[in-house]
Chains A and B, each alone.
Chain A
């Protein structure tokens, strides 16, 4: 169902991550560049660290040193779904 007066576009502010906006959207950057996405929801970068701005790339995540350093350090970069 398309967004309209009866069903406004929902924008969700997450506690420590991106801003979620129902798509499709067109985002105009500060430099005038236009970015389009047809995805059902888009995640807009709110931390300004994304390398794929204006979209979130999870760069907001905290970094941590491993609790138990060793050769069995966890594989933090997973395969896609």
Chain B
């Protein structure tokens, strides 16, 4: 098959990244060499900081085995029991840290109340910064880091579909159908993002910017797969999805303005313009029917729905702190190439 640049049609899986600590080193050695995981890796995983880049990179790579995987890997590593054991230890650490760092026991209404109003304090807002102050270089960095999610946009959320029923399932599938272009490949949101990247002169190859991503940019992506791949976390996945949809429309309006101001290009403007309109709809449907439907069926999941939303806010704030801290001091937010 031929690699086609300029769209997510690129069939070539990305190369394995470089390791960034003992856990990712052991994992990547096992993947690249086709051999077993080194015996100490699971123990190392338990002692790594769950938000640190070694643990986050290892989780990212382990999850990616369930999506498009990496070049030259046998397909069955996805279900390698040793790798799943490592993943479980990393996930337990990540979940425990998130449960420690976000408010617990909240109602879904409490978790969403703050998201459904617009703050007049914009100091912590990346979208506001890019709308008013960011330059084209910062817009390009933002797109490069977000590409780790947007080139598989809505994929992590598809895992939840068989775990829903009735109203929640019908509504979730309707939103996902919209995300996946409503039957038209050229309108798949991941494809619209690849078009945005092409406008910005970025490489649209899947996973291309993993090496440049700091830990803060990996965690908002790994958390989606964490919630998506565990049936027991279906409430958190739905809460996460609701949070993203609710906050997207106003953020996308600012980012569309940033694209226009920096002259990013028509496809870049279109990506965010489309999300202003689409996510104003998705927000209503996800709150009324996906969250409402799930909680009508399984009311005991309400604290998980709130947790999913709160964890998303927490990880997005960490990323915003990193981006704004770098940009406001005139530095790049990307990891330096080695």
Query: Which positions in A face B, CB cutoff 8 Å?
Result: 12, 14, 17-18, 20, 37-43, 51-52, 55-58, 61-66, 69, 71-81
Report the bound CA distance from A60 to B275 in whole Å: 17
Q: Is B295 an interface residue (CB 8 A)?
A: no
B247:A77 contact, CB within 8 angstroms: yes
A77-B117 CB under 8 A given contacts A18-B284, A39-B178:
no
B277:A76 contact, CB within 8 angstroms: no
A81:B250 contact, CB within 8 angstroms: no
Residues of B within 8 A of A (CB-CB), count: 61
Binding-face segment, B28-36, B59-67, B100-108, B124-132: B124-132
Interface of A is mostly: loop
Q: Can you give 17 contacting A-B residue pairs, CB < 8 Å? A: A12-B288, A18-B280, A43-B280, A43-B284, A56-B249, A57-B277, A58-B249, A61-B117, A75-B124, A75-B126, A77-B128, A77-B247, A77-B254, A78-B250, A80-B255, A81-B153, A81-B282
A55:B280 contact, CB within 8 angstroms: yes
Contacts of B119 in A (CB 8 A): 63-66, 73-74, 76
Contacts of B127 in A (CB 8 A): 75, 77-79
A81-B281 CB under 8 A given contacts A62-B117, A75-B125:
no
Contacts of B146 in A (CB 8 A): 79
8 more CB-based (< 8 A) A-B contacts, given A56-B249, A81-B241: A61-B116, A63-B120, A75-B124, A75-B127, A78-B246, A78-B316, A80-B244, A81-B179
Report the bound CA distance from A43 to B276 in whole Å: 11
A41:B124 contact, CB within 8 angstroms: no
Report the bound CA distance from A74 to B317 in whole Å: 7
Report the bound CA distance from A18 to B119 in whole Å: 20
Chain B nearest CB from A52 CB (Å) reads: 6
A20:B122 contact, CB within 8 angstroms: no
Chain A residue at minimal CB-CB distance from B285: A41
B280:A71 contact, CB within 8 angstroms: no
Q: Is B320 an interface residue (CB 8 A)?
A: yes
Report the bound CA distance from A64 to B249 in whole Å: 17
B120 in complex: contacting residue of A17, A56, A66, A77, CB < 8 Å: A66
Chain B nearest CB from A31 CB (Å) reads: 20
Interface of B is mostly: helix
Q: Is B198 an interface residue (CB 8 A)?
A: no
Report the bound CA distance from A48 to B284 in whole Å: 18
Contacts of A12 in B (CB 8 A): 288
Chain B residue at minimal CB-CB distance from A38: B182
Contacts of A66 in B (CB 8 A): 119-121
B117:A17 contact, CB within 8 angstroms: no
Contacts of B243 in A (CB 8 A): 78
Chain A residue at minimal CB-CB distance from B312: A78
Per-residue contact bits, chain B 185-220, to A (CB 8 Å; 1 contact, 0 not): 000010000000000000000000000000000000
Q: Is B272 an interface residue (CB 8 A)?
A: yes
Contacts of A72 in B (CB 8 A): 124, 317, 321
Report the bound CA distance from A71 to B135 in whole Å: 22
A51:B317 contact, CB within 8 angstroms: no
A80:B250 contact, CB within 8 angstroms: no
Chain B residue at minimal CB-CB distance from A69: B121
B124:A74 contact, CB within 8 angstroms: yes
A40:B177 contact, CB within 8 angstroms: yes
A77:B126 contact, CB within 8 angstroms: yes
Contacts of A63 in B (CB 8 A): 117-120
Chain A nearest CB from B214 CB (Å) reads: 16
Chain B nearest CB from A42 CB (Å) reads: 6
